[in-house]
Amino acid sequence: MNDETEHIKIAFLTAFDLQEIRSWSWAGTLYHMTQALEKHCGEVSYIGPIHCWEQLAAKIIRKGSRLLLKKNFASYHNFLVAKKYAKVAAQRLAERSFDVIIAPAGEPEIAFLETDIPIVLVEDATYGLLLNYHQDYSNLLKRSIYELHSIESLAIKRASVIVSSSAWAAQSAIKDYHADERKVHVVPFGASFETPPPKEIAQARKKSGRCRLLFVGSYWLRKGGDIAFETLLSLEEKGVQAELIVCGLTPPSTFLHERMRVIPFLDKKDERQRKEFEHLYMSSDFLLLPTRNDCTPISFCEANAYGLPVITTNTGGVAGVIRDGENGFMLPYSARGDEYAEVIAKVYQDDQLYSELVRSSRVAYDERLNWDAWGIAVTDLITQLLGRESRTSTPTRTTGSV
């Protein structure tokens, strides 16, 4: 942090209690985001959590809607809750002096917020992209869809800067919600761990004697577990000895194989289990995740830190992390196990190709898929927003237009 940034006072606005959402995919992201801001940008103060009776009322509406109408209701993303968030946030912001507000996934928090403090909205997807793409935003009431679009539109208008984790999300903000493209920037998220292995160790990894596929996720079908299983079978048919390690869940009982190992859960906060998780990254040959829907998969950034190439699906914001031939390969959404196996076999059976992919995967992590890179890029945007001198003359990891 330099002299210009050390005095920037940041209001980190999220209604969620970070201690209560440890299982939520954004929990680690929010933590590392604040660490990066404190390291590179300024002093971070939490404007949250926000607990209110409106949240309970919205949950009751959701339950009633499911029971009576067989429809979903977005309980955290509606006018009732958003207006209360704005009221409480405005009161807390008035108690201290802040230079900027950072609102991660903060559309409900800022949609109705009245403030003179410039706002940086951090998104991995717009609500328009999530509708009928993500299970939590599917089969919604028409009213809920209307409120989601309205909240997204209001949040984008109120934000001075929009930081999208992928071009997929950025383009939606511009095309679907008419955001001024000059305030939309693409900055990838980073890997959610403290100590990546040294670059020399990661890039020196050698492929195993049997093609070892690592599948990490909490949802079997949503993450393409059935396709990963098909890939294992197809590799065997091609004469490639392989094994599949499933970590984070227990597959349905119909998916059984003598060379499929299942690790239902590993707690990264426990040192022994964290080391086991790291060993999986170092001893596997590919991270295989034929995901059905994803915005910004943090596990891909983590894999690349270990020089582990990723084989996945070209869907959602995945292309914001994976670049074909650099740190993995993306297959079409319609691809099944035989097509995944074909790509994996080609790379695995070519020693030079595999080694080059390992090296470039780690370079991708070092250059763009870490939280320091995110923190530096966002700091540049904030200093420019506030009219202060930037760390660099041109933000090298952001794009002003998409």
Residue ranges of the domains in the chain?
8-190+370-385, 199-367
Divide the 402 residues of the chain into consecutive groups of 10 and give the mean pLDDT of each group: 73 84 68 94 95 93 95 94 97 97 97 98 97 94 97 98 98 98 97 88 91 95 97 97 96 95 88 90 97 95 97 98 98 98 97 97 97 97 85 42 53
Are 265 and 248 within 8 A, CB to CB?
Answer: yes
How high is the pLDDT of residue 396? 38
How high is the pLDDT of residue 391? 47
How high is the pLDDT of residue 394? 40
How high is the pLDDT of residue 399? 44
Query: Fold identical between 8-190+370-385 and 199-367?
Result: yes
How high is the pLDDT of residue 395? 38
Which CATH entry fits the domain spanning 8-190+370-385: 3.90.640.10, 3.40.50.2000, 1.20.1300.10, 3.90.25.10?
3.40.50.2000
- Angle between helix 53-64 and 79-94 (nearest 10): 170
How high is the pLDDT of residue 192? 84
How high is the pLDDT of residue 269? 76
HSE-CB for 372 with a 13 A CA cutoff: 7
What is the domain class of 199-367 according to CATH?
alpha beta
Instruction: State the residue for tokens 């991660």.
Output: 104
How high is the pLDDT of residue 193? 80
How high is the pLDDT of residue 267? 82
How high is the pLDDT of residue 3? 59
